[in-house]
Amino acid sequence: MILQKLLAKSPKLETRLELLELATGLMLFGFLQFHMFAVSSIILGVDAFNRDSARMDEYYLSYIGIPLIILALIVHGLVALRKAPWKIQEMRVFVQHSRRLAHLDTWAWGVQILTALIILVLAATHIWSVLVTWPIEAATSAARIQGGYFSNFVLLIVAAEIHAMVGLYRILVKWSWIHRKKFTNYLVYATIGMVGLGFLTLLVFYFRSIPKGLS
């Protein structure tokens, strides 16, 4: 084993994977917050939403952005999940350990793995459903949300925001010298804010009847 390990070890590769995790993590974090704000424009009105969507289309932002995000998601998933407890034994060790330790940051990682899996499923269906009814319009979105996607989105909002905020926290503690105890509070407020915004958006979509084709 020692020989194989010695031959297979590559610090450079392993470091680059870590950097890739960092880069895609930050990128997705940025995207998600942007995305949440963009979608929340529905609160300001149907016009605002459609204008945004159209403008993104106009400047080809969607056509570059969307594939890029999908790619980032795939890469991020692959890179980040290399650390996940794949083996049943590892998983049990992790859970037992966290129970004994009762330590927030340790639990948070478990939550991250769990939310990652939720996002994986929900975001994939979500993106698929958006892409098949291209272009993005308030009416199609509302129809979707009113037609059964509501609960999925509730879950996705919560999972994605928690995953992203914990992820950001993790990046900061792993790479920088921030005072993490103080910083935790800001992140909690930010998460609550973003989830609140998401719910508001969702409710607007749900209760507003939006006739098709209006601009």
Partner 1 sequence: MADRLLTFSIFRYNPITPEIPPRMQEYQLEETMGMSLFIALNRLREELDPSLMFDFVCRAAICGSCAMLINGRPGLACKTLTQDMPDRITVMPLPVFKLVGDLSVDTGVWFRHLNVRTEAWIHTDKVFNPEAIEERMDNPTAQAIYDAERCIECGCCIGACATANMRADFMGAAFLNRIARFMIDPRDERPMAQYFDVVGTDEGVFGCIGLMACDDLCPMEIPLQGQLAFVRRKMAQMALKCARCK
Q: Should residue 113 be labelled a site residue for ligand HEM when binding is judged by CB under 6 A?
A: yes
Cβ proximity to partner 1, 26 vs 66, nearer residue: 26
Q: Which residues bind partner 1 (CB under 8 A)?
A: 9-12, 14-19, 83, 85, 90, 93-94, 97-103, 105-106, 109, 170, 173-177, 180
Cβ proximity to ligand HEM, 9 vs 172, nearer residue: 172
**Partner touching 79 among ligand HEM, partner 1, none, CB below 5 to 8 Å by kind:** none
User: Alpha-carbon torsion 118, 121, 127, 133, what sign?
Assistant: negative
Cβ proximity to partner 1, 21 vs 137, nearer residue: 21
Cβ distance 210 to 46 under 8 Å?
yes
- Please give the Cα distance from 81 to 86 (Å, whole number): 9
Question: Residue ranges of the alpha helices (H) in the chain?
Answer: 2-8, 11-40, 46-58, 61-80, 88-101, 104-132, 138-144, 150-175, 180-207
The tokens describing 57, both together, are 């289309």
- Please give the Cα distance from 36 to 38 (Å, whole number): 5
Q: Should residue 69 be labelled a site residue for ligand HEM when binding is judged by CB under 6 A?
A: yes
Q: Should residue 83 be labelled a site residue for ligand HEM when binding is judged by CB under 6 A?
A: yes
Per DSSP, the residues of 198-212 read HHHHHHHHHHS---T
Q: Should residue 160 be labelled a site residue for ligand HEM when binding is judged by CB under 6 A?
A: yes
Among 41, 46, 52, 123, binds ligand HEM (CB under 6 A): 123
Residue listed under structure tokens 């470091």: 15
Residues within the interface to ligand HEM (CB under 6 A): 21-22, 25, 28-29, 32, 35-36, 39-40, 66, 69-70, 73, 76-77, 80-81, 83-84, 112-113, 116, 119-120, 123, 126-127, 130, 136, 141, 144, 153, 156-157, 160, 163-164, 167-168, 170-171, 174, 198, 201-202
